[in-house]
Amino acid sequence: MTNDSLLLAQPFTLKSGMIIKNRLIKAALSEALGNAEGGPSPALIKLYRTWAQSDIGVLITGNVMIDRDALGEPGNVIIEDERHLVFLKEWATMAKSSGSQVWMQINHPGKQALRGLNKETVSPSAVPFSPKMQALFATPRELTHVEIEDIIQRFATTAAIAQKAGFSGIQLHGAHGYLISQFLSPHHNRRNDQWGGNPENRRRFVLEIYKSVRAKVGAAFPIAIKLNSADFQRGGFTEEESLATIQALDEAGIDLIEISGGTYEKPVMMQSSHTKVSTASREAYFLDFAKKVRQLSTVPLMVTGGFRSLNGIESALKAGDLDFAGLGRIFAIEPLAAKRLINGLETQNQVKPLTTGIKFIDDLGSLEVTWYTRQMHRIGHGIKPIPDEHGLKSFLLDIKDKGLGILKNRQLRAS
């Protein structure tokens, strides 16, 4: 294929007027490269400077947390105020240095944070994790109305600082079992006040966040959201509720929706080895759901998960069921993969299922995050990634790193 004939190489204009130079977006990946104070480290900035050379349309950052008392993992960047503004500006500048847009993903983990990382965890309701996860995740405390209102404003504050720092847009993380996802789910949200009790009330939290962010950043600044097609969990967020949420967000003015699915308790977004044969053959995991969205809404859509080839991406785009293909893990082992795809070439590496050889560990799905995080750390420190690094080695080293990170965070809280 030639560059001229590829739909993925063509620009796309959002309703805000922003022109995205092609249809490839780097989906958020957990970099865990914040410094001890929660600012972006030199390695994080170098990582994005490297990715910028790939000529991709948009780089979406990994989780940036809105509250230093509510981290998702050690190494999160935290934005509560402007104390790191100089370094945030450098991060944005380096990410945009070759013409890509850079959107900051902002998030609150809710209950989904490892035991000991934060003083406590919170959620819409005090619902514990499944028995096999309770050793890792504590039962959360139910949020008060005042705390919910504060969190909504924190999202808006972080978004406004991202805009001031030069980021091109923001993405709300409303998927994968984090706080917005918890509010949307009848399993996690068992409230009977204005924030729960029926689908309309469960949607109120994300819609209020959107309205507060939009009021801070104005109409021309893109606001996207990552949203589950479903939680794939008994009693959880269903496809029907997701479609209704997408319609509500579209009516409110959202600029782009990224479709994903699953939670830490049901990590379908991380377990490529469990994909149906029919889904694997056409590559994109959530394409059937994207088709359903297209019947109800014209909101720009990004589908992430499962793409393995140039033909798979191009076919999905030409079918008209999505506007952007989201790629993630390939950039942790081949930082300039987008440049090859845009020029009609296959990537030099392939994302493959990972294993430690220990079924219990593999079933948790966390290896699919931690292994790629280690490769990104290598790129950020100027070292080539290791595409064939053994999964068990990566898992054991990650346990050590997370343990040290939790210990450091406890020491910071105590100081």
What would the pLDDT profile of 89-111 be if each residue is shown by its tens digit?
999 999 999 999 999 999 999 99
- Lowest mean pLDDT of 30-44, 225-239, 388-402, name the range: 388-402
Distance of alpha carbon 375 from alpha carbon 286, whole angstroms: 26
What is the pLDDT averaged over residues 129-145?
94
Element (H, E) at 59: strand 58-60
Give start and end residues of each alpha helix (H) in 97-254.
145-165, 179-184, 199-217, 239-252
pLDDT of residue 276: 46
Distance of alpha carbon 105 from alpha carbon 160, whole angstroms: 13
Tokens (6 digits) for 72: 């998702």
* Secondary structure of residue 23 in the 3-state scheme: coil
- Whether the predicted pLDDT of 152 surpasses 60: yes
- Lowest mean pLDDT of 104-118, 164-178, 318-332, 381-395, name the range: 381-395
Tokens (6 digits) for 224: 């996207």
What is the pLDDT averaged over residues 10-25?
96
pLDDT digits (tens, 9 = 90+) for 348-371: 999 888 777 777 666 666 677 788
Whether the CB-CB separation of 221 and 169 falls below 8 Å is answered with: yes
* Secondary structure of residue 295 in the 3-state scheme: helix
- Whether the predicted pLDDT of 403 surpasses 60: no
- CB pairs under 8 A, 24+ apart, for 14-18? 14/222, 14/255, 14/256, 14/300, 15/255, 16/219, 16/220, 16/221, 16/222, 16/255, 17/220, 18/101, 18/168, 18/169, 18/220, 18/222
Tally of CB atoms within 10 A around 190 = 16
Distance of alpha carbon 298 from alpha carbon 322, whole angstroms: 10
Query: Measured at the alpha carbon of residue 312, what is the angle toward residues 60 and 279, in degrees to the nearest 5?
Result: 95
What is the pLDDT averaged over residues 298-309?
92
pLDDT digits (tens, 9 = 90+) for 47-93: 999 999 999 999 999 999 999 999 999 999 999 999 999 999 999 99
Whether the CB-CB separation of 309 and 340 falls below 8 Å is answered with: no
Q: Catalogue all structural domains in the chain, each as residue range(s) with its CATH number.
A: 3-414 (3.20.20.70)
Query: Measured at the alpha carbon of residue 229, what is the angle toward residues 305 and 145, in degrees to the nearest 5?
Result: 120
Tokens (6 digits) for 247: 């319609």
Question: Burial of 359 by CB count in 10 Å (0-12 exposed, 13-18 middle, 19+ buried)?
Answer: exposed
Distance of alpha carbon 388 from alpha carbon 375, whole angstroms: 10
pLDDT of residue 281: 46
Whether the CB-CB separation of 334 and 348 falls below 8 Å is answered with: yes
pLDDT digits (tens, 9 = 90+) for 164-209: 999 999 999 999 899 999 999 999 999 999 999 999 999 999 999 9
pTM of the model: 0.91
